[in-house]
Structure 1
Amino acid sequence: MANVNGKDFTEILKLSPKYLLGIVIFSGGLSLIGNSDLASPLGIEELYNSYNTWITIILIISSSLLLGHLIWHLGLIIKGKFQDRSLDKFRKKRLKDLTPEEKAILSFYIIKNTRSQKLNYTNGAVRELEYWKIIYRSSELGNMRSGFSYNIQPWAWEYLKKNPHLVETPIDHILL
């Protein structure tokens, strides 16, 4: 076997899951075939008997590393879902504490029943709503005079359609 020093071993730990899967399949297949009646006709019986211990060690280590990758990525997915849920909760809370200017911007979407409007990029209320991902700039084409197109996020659209009182201002009652 090759000399395995600390540097070589750390390189093995850095292997991508696709390579680890290949190693698991190869060493697992070799272990299965080496223990069966097919080993002799395939000419791997002597190879398997000589390196059985190493093949088993490689199988265990690569399987463990692959399982570690899988658990790590599942953890990231679960963490992301919880963070998204938490962030959505915070954003909905933020919609309950809007400034009059923010209410005016968002009420336009609801009153006009549209998901897009032109807004000034330099407006602080617009930037605040964009920062909290309540609205987003849907086009890079625009200018300071006519504004840029901003769309309301789908979750905010649905939430404000169900709770229009959150964007009502006293003037809205007169206009309606």
Structure 2
Amino acid sequence: MKKCFSCMLVMGLIFLLAACNTKEQATSSNSTDPVEEENQVEFELLFQLDSIPPEVGTSISIVQDEKLYTTWADIFGFESIPPIDFETEEVLFVTGYSDGCGRELEKIEKDGNTLVITLNYPEDIREKDIACTDIALDNTYVIKMKKTETTKGKLIDINRTTYEEDSTVQEKLQ
């Protein structure tokens, strides 16, 4: 019985690791409220990683400079660096921790000059009665989006816990 449980646990972890390292495309267009839709930010999820470099911690960084982008890519250990047109686009790095159920990027919205990033449980378990463990899982989201002209960032999860508030846009490297 213990061997069966151990095998299931190992298989589950392998599946979780494989799922967390895939490149995905996402857009935020589930709203029917015209005001809410106007504030929605369309984005492309370049990477969802299951690690956070120790020097980063929980953070929101809006990167608007190619040199800074490649520096972040080095810190996070990207094998290849997706191209970004910094004249019209920017890259958002979001890092944080979740419980054993994990988190995924639910939506990105503008609220004045603040970019609000909301994380949620994975869609397949949102409506289920599942007890999540208190284990801390690393989550990193690397997101490409059109320039938002925002100067601050706020990161919240499904429980409306605020992880980061009033984070500032990363300045250009000289």
Larger-gyration structure (1/2):
1
The higher relative CO (CA closer than 8 Å, separation ≥ 6) is in 2
Instruction: Give the TM-score of the pair, scaled to structure 2.
Output: 0.24
